[in-house]
């Protein structure tokens, strides 16, 4: 008589993503990258996010309060039924860790991207001040992190913060981020073709900065360094992400560089890849970050990187970027001038490509799959 071997069922993992009207694009890309990357790994995946009751109100005062109701009342009430299917729940963004209160019966993993807002709410200098209600929210997040079975920190810097703030009794692992797109150097002609929609962007060399106008991103420093560089070179500045605030506009006028700045919002991955590939360099002088995705995106695209010595950057950039204190704007300007030398530029690009190879999506997905299975076995 033939004995039938039992067929194991795929591990069921529920990904808990972000509220769409909040427009946290990097977090949305992260959960999408996990969902797509886990396909074919004997893991069944579902993604849930807090549903938006009235997405048309986004950005208004009414939309803010509707968002609170969606995220903190309607969605928690629906969570027990949603998680009943899962064997492991992965909260993809630590800012949603408060949902651990409603899913404690399931093994839960939370990815901690940074604890800058928590630290700011506790009075630490992270350029992330908090209102009274913000302080309550951040402590709620910390309590949620303490309820998780496991935390994955995206850098050693963030891991150290998590151990200090969440507590050493919590199981905290290091899982470095991976690239959310297969960035690679784009040949000059193809890069120009992809950038044809931005009239004149390829007529002169341009310095690149990718990010938002949050104080910790130090875009004022970007403008000051760029102004120094323009004293010696006919170069433009491309700002990818948010457009400049009135304060930054005023600073650009004072520095006499406003006419040489291009603001490029809503850029997709293929266009960003071309921008990196064609740029003179990425300037990334942040004061505080949890990881620093643009650094490895630029390096993978063959773009030299000049950045600050912000907490996680030495680990993420390795020895392939030119790293200085964010206060050393003269030094950054000199470093950017040095990259006009073909030999120095070629060496920096080669080192960056080698460093970026550490941050593949496949490696990151493998790391998370191993954590899911470990949590599944524990359960």
Do residues 162 and 151 make contact, with C-beta atoms less than 8 angstroms apart?
Answer: yes
Other C-beta atoms lying within 10 Å of the C-beta of residue 267: 16
Residue of 110, 70, 69 whose CA lies nearest to 89: 110
* pLDDT of 5 above 50: no
Task: Find the radius of gyration of the CA atoms of the chain.
Answer: 22
Q: Mean pLDDT over residues 13-23, rounded?
A: 92
Q: Check for a shared fold between 11-178+361-378 and 188-356.
A: yes
What is the C-alpha to C-alpha distance for residues 113 and 62, in angstroms, rounded to an integer?
A: 29
Per-residue pLDDT tens over the stretch 263-293 = 999 899 999 999 999 999 999 999 999 999 9
Q: Mean pLDDT over residues 211-223, rounded?
A: 96
Element (H, E) at 165: helix 156-165
What is the C-alpha to C-alpha distance for residues 92 and 77, in angstroms, rounded to an integer?
A: 19
Other C-beta atoms lying within 10 Å of the C-beta of residue 58: 16
Do residues 169 and 162 make contact, with C-beta atoms less than 8 angstroms apart?
Answer: no
Tokens of residue 38, six digits? 């886990």
**Which residue ranges make up each domain of the chain?**
11-178+361-378, 188-356
Model confidence at 200, pLDDT cuts 50, 70, 90, reads: confident
Where helices occur in 279-341 by DSSP H, the ranges are: 293-300, 313-317, 329-338
Q: Mean pLDDT over residues 242-252, rounded?
A: 96
Tokens 């960003």 belong to residue: 272
Q: Looking at the domain 188-356, which fold is it?
A: Rossmann fold (3.40.50)
* Phi, psi values for residue 170, rounded to 5°: -80, 140
Q: Looking at the domain 11-178+361-378, which fold is it?
A: Rossmann fold (3.40.50)
Half-sphere exposure of 33 toward its Cβ, with a 13 Å CA cutoff?
Answer: 21
Q: Mean pLDDT over residues 209-221, rounded?
A: 96
Half-sphere exposure of 295 toward its Cβ, with a 13 Å CA cutoff?
Answer: 30
* pLDDT of 4 above 60: no
Residue of 343, 336, 301 whose CA lies nearest to 322: 336
Angle of helix 219-230 versus helix 329-338 axis, rounded to 10: 50
Residue 146 falls in which region: left (phi positive, over 0), alpha (psi -120 to 50) or beta: alpha
Q: What letter does residue 127 receive in the DSSP assignment? A: S
Model confidence at 66, pLDDT cuts 50, 70, 90, reads: confident
Element (H, E) at 369: helix 361-378
Residue 167 falls in which region: left (phi positive, over 0), alpha (psi -120 to 50) or beta: left
Model confidence at 368, pLDDT cuts 50, 70, 90, reads: very high
Q: Which residues contact 270 (CB under 8 A, 6 or more apart)?
A: 194
What is the structure's pLDDT at 169? 82
What is the structure's pLDDT at 299? 98
Q: Mean pLDDT over residues 217-227, rounded?
A: 98
Tokens of residue 353, six digits? 């490509």
pTM: 0.91
């Amino acid at each position: 008589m033939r004995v039938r071997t039992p067929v194991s069922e795929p591990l069921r993992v529920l990904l808990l993503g972000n509220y769409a009207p909040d427009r946290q694009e990097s977090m949305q890309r992260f959960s999408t990258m996990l969902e797509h990357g886990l396909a074919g790994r004997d893991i069944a995946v579902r993604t849930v996010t807090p549903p938006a009751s009235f997405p048309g109100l986004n950005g208004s005062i009414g939309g803010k309060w509707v968002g609170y109701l969606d995220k903190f009342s309607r969605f928690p009430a629906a969570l027990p039924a949603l998680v009943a299917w899962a064997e492991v729940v992965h909260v993809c963004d630590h800012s949603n860790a408060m949902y651990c209160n409603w899913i404690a019966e399931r093994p839960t993993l939370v990815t901690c991207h940074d604890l800058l807002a928590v630290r700011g709410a506790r009075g630490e200098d992270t350029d992330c001040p908090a209102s009274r209600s913000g302080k309550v929210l951040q402590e709620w997040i910390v309590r949620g992190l303490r309820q998780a079975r496991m935390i994955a920190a995206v850098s050693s810097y963030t891991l150290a913060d998590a151990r200090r703030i969440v507590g050493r009794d919590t199981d905290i692992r290091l899982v470095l981020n991976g690239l959310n797109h297969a960035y690679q150097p784009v040949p000059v002609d193809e890069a120009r073709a992809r950038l044809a929609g931005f009239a004149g962007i390829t007529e002169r060399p341009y310095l690149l900065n990718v990010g938002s106008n949050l104080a910790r991103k130090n875009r004022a420093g970007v403008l000051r360094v760029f102004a120094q560089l323009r004293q010696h070179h006919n170069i433009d500045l491309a700002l990818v992400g948010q457009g400049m605030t009135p304060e930054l506009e005023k600073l650009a006028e004072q520095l006499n560089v406003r006419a040489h700045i291009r603001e490029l919002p809503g850029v997709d991955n293929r266009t960003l890849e071309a921008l990196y590939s064609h740029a003179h360099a990425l300037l990334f002088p942040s004061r505080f970050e949890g990881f620093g995705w643009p650094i490895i995106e630029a390096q993978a695209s063959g773009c030299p990187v000049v950045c600050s010595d912000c907490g996680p950057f030495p680990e993420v950039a390795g020895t392939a970027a030119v790293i200085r204190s964010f206060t050393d704007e003269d030094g950054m300007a000199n470093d950017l001038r040095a990259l006009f030398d073909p030999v120095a530029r070629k060496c920096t690009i080669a080192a960056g490509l080698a460093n970026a190879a550490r941050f593949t999506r496949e490696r990151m997905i493998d790391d998370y799959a191993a954590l899911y299975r470990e949590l599944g076995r524990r359960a």
